Chains A and B, each alone.
Chain A
Amino acid sequence: MKETQTINNNSKSTETTERISGSEAVIKCLLAEGVEILYGYPGGAIMPVYDELYKYQDRIHHVLTRHEQGATHSAQGYARISGKVGVTIATSGPGATNLITGIADAQIDSTPMVCITGQVASHLLGSDAFQETDIVGISTPVTKWNHQITKASEIPEVMAKAFYIARSGRPGPVLIDITKDAQFEEFDFKYEKCKGVRSYNPIPKLDNTSVEAAAKLINAAKKPMIVWGQGVSLGEAEAQFKAVVEKAGIPSAWTILGAGAIPTSHPLNIGMVGMHGNYAPNVLTNECDVLIAIGMRFDDRVTGNLATYAKQAKVIHFEIDPAEIDKNVKTEVAVLGDAKESLAALLPLLEEKTYPEWHQKFKDLYAIEYEKVIKDDLHPTKEGLTMAEVLKEINIQTKGDAAIVTDVGQHQMIACRYANFNKTRSNITSGGLGTMGFGLPAAIGAKMAAPEREVISISGDGGYQMTIQELGTIFQQKVPVKIVVLNNEFLGMVRQWQELFFDRRYASTEMTNPDFVAIAKGYSIEANKVTKREDLKDAVEKMINTDGPYFLEVCVEKEGKVFPMIPTGASVSEVRLE
């Protein structure tokens, strides 16, 4: 991933030093890294930094979230839509531990994020002091890198390293814990951006022989298929990717985080793979002769049972992280490197091709999926509203240009299946960790990073209530985000599993919900509720045409199910349509 942030001219590194406190140094480092927005929550151990934030408030915007978890998801939304590093700040103890879910989410979804936490004074470390927690120990398994600062003089170098590590190579979260005495301590400040870390090689050097071997396999293939992931957009390789797909004429499917790198409507875009992905790419994964994986990691939700996954195919894996090669699926050819560079090198070696018969197979299977699933989802004959209808209406009203920020569950799968993604970085969702509560705060960050874009948060009634307090952030910051709750009065995905695999024993999945409209209105957010099909169009239109934030609750059928579905342990080709 390229460094997309520019150094703020006013605080570029200089030869001269100035004597300032550690806490002011933190702010100066953030400014030097081009940070404009921070998401956070103050508290005892981070107060010196907040005091500096007060002084610098004309240059750096601090967003007070209503919970530290909200801060991390907002920072993630900010990072995912913009490619910049999202930044959160919190106090020690519970402030720091509340960041963990968001950090784990950013780690598994490769999201660049820097989290700054305050810590008790260094002489109190290990004494079980008030609000002391070993956040470096706790965050170790879920951070790309973390570090505790106990002396102010360490701040510039560690902060520079934090941003460099978070955004370079395969991005990820970094946590920097700063003791309170280091925040107060004065030292001679001088900032230099990090240009490299000797033990860390973010982008493996591209090996041309592997590119040639990949091209040879692709050119000789009779039934090739591409599965791409988030690596394409993280590597800003959308143009190179599109050129490769079009020249080679290969049917291309996406993982949930890959969505939008080429538009949904592109003729070679054959849909989503995985547990609730499209029928054709799942079934034909087990029929293709060459499987070209680009910037994806063969997650178990993508592969189903590995023992029966694409066994007939020769697998080519384009990947930036060497640890992903052969981790889950054995590759014939591994091309290590940055997606943009690798695909640019591949392009001239590819023969121009089309595979009309092979394409027809995808079309035939799509027709089956349409008949058995899609038709009833989009054009239901039954009375109850479906989630897919809502997505269809949003597609129409936004012309497919919106960024869709989802939570986790049935609505998420439906949104990914039916939303039109015309633009890259438009599907912001918790893929790897499956964090309920992600959606609303992530939408806040996304909208603040890309105010020119329409940002629509889509949640279920369950996940929405996990971070519903962030309505307060929307209210205070006046973030014009559109909030849709698809309410089926159930934890729908768990209920679906209970129906299919646990003989309809609906253990703790039924929800008695509050008056969501009243809650939104309590935060002065315009709100509406739809229960009938004939009101849906006008309601979505009203939402889109409202300037400020808007809340729309849609009551959907209670026991709707998401299909296709690959049951756990089944093969991708055993994907069920009903």
Chain B
Amino acid sequence: MSTEKQLFTVSIYTENNIGLLNRISAIFQRRHINVESLNTSPSEIEGVSRFTIVVNMTEDNIKKIIGQIEKQVEVIKAYYHTEEEIIYQESCIFKMKSGLLFDEREIQNIIKESNARIVTVNRDFFVIEKSGRKEEIELLHRELSVFGIMQFTRSGRISITKDEMKISTMLQAFQD
């Protein structure tokens, strides 16, 4: 099935260096691969950054991409995983008119049922936050859009693998 396109989550452990984002995104850009989402953050290891990138492509091609990513001097290790191999979350926030909270009772139910939460309320607007899988966020967006959304933004995916990542062992081996 390696020639069928599917979603892969790429996890890249890197040195924390200016310019590396450019180097990594160039690998995708040069091959005309559209990045579905991209997130950078610290990792479980001090001083090591973690990129989480979601792409839709074939397994044959993602393997080659991983090779190109790992070839970069400041990349410690790169992995790719299918949807089944990871636990992932995205997060989103909505800004909506405060009046809706009182005029549209349905909104309160939607918030409750979707496990979203209200972050702040003031006279003009209120803000809803939700973390979850992509489909849950899309569903919430569809439901709320009926009432008019003032602003909406969604984060890139962050993910954790079900299996162990042997990064710390690798780095330890270098120290020894």
Which of A's residues lie within 8 Å of B, judged by CB? 136-137, 140-141, 144-148, 165, 196-200, 321-327
- The CA-CA distance from A322 to B78 in the complex, in Å, is 13
Whether A199 and B15, one on each chain, are in contact in the complex, defined by CB atoms closer than 8 angstroms, is: yes
Whether A326 and B73, one on each chain, are in contact in the complex, defined by CB atoms closer than 8 angstroms, is: no
Q: Which of A136, A165, A323 has the most CB of B within 10 A?
A: A323
Whether B14 and A327, one on each chain, are in contact in the complex, defined by CB atoms closer than 8 angstroms, is: no
Whether A140 and B73, one on each chain, are in contact in the complex, defined by CB atoms closer than 8 angstroms, is: no
Contact of A165 among B26, B73, B75, B175 (CB under 8 A): B73
Known: A199-B75, A327-B64, A327-B67. 6 other contacts (CB 8 A): A141-B23, A141-B30, A145-B74, A199-B14, A199-B73, A199-B74
- The CA-CA distance from A252 to B63 in the complex, in Å, is 30
- The CA-CA distance from A144 to B68 in the complex, in Å, is 11
B interface, over-half SS? helix
Whether A136 and B73, one on each chain, are in contact in the complex, defined by CB atoms closer than 8 angstroms, is: no
- Given A141-B30, A326-B63: A200 touches B19 (CB 8 Å cut-off): no
- For A326, the chain B residues whose CB sits under 8 A away are 63-64
Closest approach, in angstroms, between the C-beta of A104 and any C-beta of chain B?
Answer: 13
List of 5 A-B pairs having minimum Cβ-Cβ separation, nearest first? A323-B67, A198-B174, A199-B76, A145-B73, A323-B71
- For B175, the chain A residues whose CB sits under 8 A away are 198
Binary per-residue interface labels of chain B (118-137) against chain A in the complex, 1 for a CB within 8 Å, 0 otherwise: 00000000000000000000
- Given A199-B14, A199-B76: A136 touches B19 (CB 8 Å cut-off): yes
Closest to B29 in A: A141
Contact of A141 among B15, B26, B63 (CB under 8 A): B26
Interface size on B, residues (CB 8 A): 21
Closest to B22 in A: A140
- The CA-CA distance from A199 to B30 in the complex, in Å, is 23
Closest approach, in angstroms, between the C-beta of A537 and any C-beta of chain B?
Answer: 49
- For A197, the chain B residues whose CB sits under 8 A away are 73
Binary per-residue interface labels of chain B (30-43) against chain A in the complex, 1 for a CB within 8 Å, 0 otherwise: 10000000000000
- The CA-CA distance from A145 to B19 in the complex, in Å, is 10
Binary per-residue interface labels of chain B (94-131) against chain A in the complex, 1 for a CB within 8 Å, 0 otherwise: 00000000000000000000000000000000000000
- The CA-CA distance from A165 to B64 in the complex, in Å, is 22
Closest approach, in angstroms, between the C-beta of A205 and any C-beta of chain B?
Answer: 11
Closest approach, in angstroms, between the C-beta of A531 and any C-beta of chain B?
Answer: 47
- The CA-CA distance from A323 to B74 in the complex, in Å, is 15
Which of B's residues lie within 8 Å of A, judged by CB? 14-15, 18-19, 22-23, 26, 30, 63-64, 67-68, 70-71, 73-76, 171, 174-175
- For B68, the chain A residues whose CB sits under 8 A away are 323
Closest to A147 in B: B19
- The CA-CA distance from A22 to B175 in the complex, in Å, is 30
Closest approach, in angstroms, between the C-beta of B15 and any C-beta of chain A?
Answer: 5
Whether B64 and A196, one on each chain, are in contact in the complex, defined by CB atoms closer than 8 angstroms, is: no
- For A323, the chain B residues whose CB sits under 8 A away are 64, 67-68, 70-71
Closest approach, in angstroms, between the C-beta of B77 and any C-beta of chain A?
Answer: 8
- For A137, the chain B residues whose CB sits under 8 A away are 19, 22
Whether B67 and A140, one on each chain, are in contact in the complex, defined by CB atoms closer than 8 angstroms, is: no
Closest to A325 in B: B67
Closest approach, in angstroms, between the C-beta of A176 and any C-beta of chain B?
Answer: 12
Whether A140 and B64, one on each chain, are in contact in the complex, defined by CB atoms closer than 8 angstroms, is: no
- The CA-CA distance from A520 to B2 in the complex, in Å, is 59
Closest approach, in angstroms, between the C-beta of A100 and any C-beta of chain B?
Answer: 14
Closest approach, in angstroms, between the C-beta of A13 and any C-beta of chain B?
Answer: 21
- Given A199-B14, A322-B67, A323-B70: A140 touches B23 (CB 8 Å cut-off): yes
Contact of A144 among B18, B30, B73, B171 (CB under 8 A): B73
Closest approach, in angstroms, between the C-beta of B145 and any C-beta of chain A?
Answer: 38
Whether B26 and A140, one on each chain, are in contact in the complex, defined by CB atoms closer than 8 angstroms, is: yes
Closest approach, in angstroms, between the C-beta of A209 and any C-beta of chain B?
Answer: 21
Closest to B17 in A: A147
- For B23, the chain A residues whose CB sits under 8 A away are 140-141
Closest approach, in angstroms, between the C-beta of B17 and any C-beta of chain A?
Answer: 8
Contact of A140 among B15, B19, B70, B76 (CB under 8 A): B19
- For B75, the chain A residues whose CB sits under 8 A away are 199
- The CA-CA distance from A491 to B19 in the complex, in Å, is 39
- For B14, the chain A residues whose CB sits under 8 A away are 199
Closest approach, in angstroms, between the C-beta of B99 and any C-beta of chain A?
Answer: 44
- For B70, the chain A residues whose CB sits under 8 A away are 322-323
- For A165, the chain B residues whose CB sits under 8 A away are 73
- The CA-CA distance from A325 to B64 in the complex, in Å, is 9
- The CA-CA distance from A321 to B68 in the complex, in Å, is 10
- The CA-CA distance from A200 to B76 in the complex, in Å, is 7
- For B71, the chain A residues whose CB sits under 8 A away are 321-323
25 pairs of residues in contact across A and B, judged by CB atoms under 8 Å:
A136-B19, A137-B22, A140-B26, A141-B23, A141-B30, A145-B74, A146-B19, A148-B18, A148-B19, A198-B15, A199-B14, A199-B15, A199-B73, A199-B75, A199-B76, A200-B73, A322-B71, A323-B64, A323-B67, A323-B68, A323-B70, A323-B71, A326-B63, A326-B64, A327-B67
- For A325, the chain B residues whose CB sits under 8 A away are 67
- For A324, the chain B residues whose CB sits under 8 A away are 67
Closest to A323 in B: B67
Closest approach, in angstroms, between the C-beta of A552 and any C-beta of chain B?
Answer: 41
Closest approach, in angstroms, between the C-beta of A343 and any C-beta of chain B?
Answer: 23
- The CA-CA distance from A199 to B17 in the complex, in Å, is 12
- The CA-CA distance from A141 to B74 in the complex, in Å, is 14
- The CA-CA distance from A199 to B26 in the complex, in Å, is 19
- For A136, the chain B residues whose CB sits under 8 A away are 19
Closest approach, in angstroms, between the C-beta of A215 and any C-beta of chain B?
Answer: 25
Closest to B64 in A: A327
- The CA-CA distance from A146 to B63 in the complex, in Å, is 25
- The CA-CA distance from A324 to B63 in the complex, in Å, is 11
Closest approach, in angstroms, between the C-beta of B14 and any C-beta of chain A?
Answer: 7
- The CA-CA distance from A141 to B174 in the complex, in Å, is 27
- The CA-CA distance from A326 to B67 in the complex, in Å, is 10
Closest to B48 in A: A199
- The CA-CA distance from A178 to B67 in the complex, in Å, is 30
- For A147, the chain B residues whose CB sits under 8 A away are 19
- The CA-CA distance from A326 to B61 in the complex, in Å, is 10
Closest to B20 in A: A140
- For A199, the chain B residues whose CB sits under 8 A away are 14-15, 73-76
Whether B30 and A196, one on each chain, are in contact in the complex, defined by CB atoms closer than 8 angstroms, is: no
Whether A198 and B76, one on each chain, are in contact in the complex, defined by CB atoms closer than 8 angstroms, is: yes
Q: Which of B14, B73, B75, B175 has the most CB of A within 10 A?
A: B73
Closest approach, in angstroms, between the C-beta of A315 and any C-beta of chain B?
Answer: 16
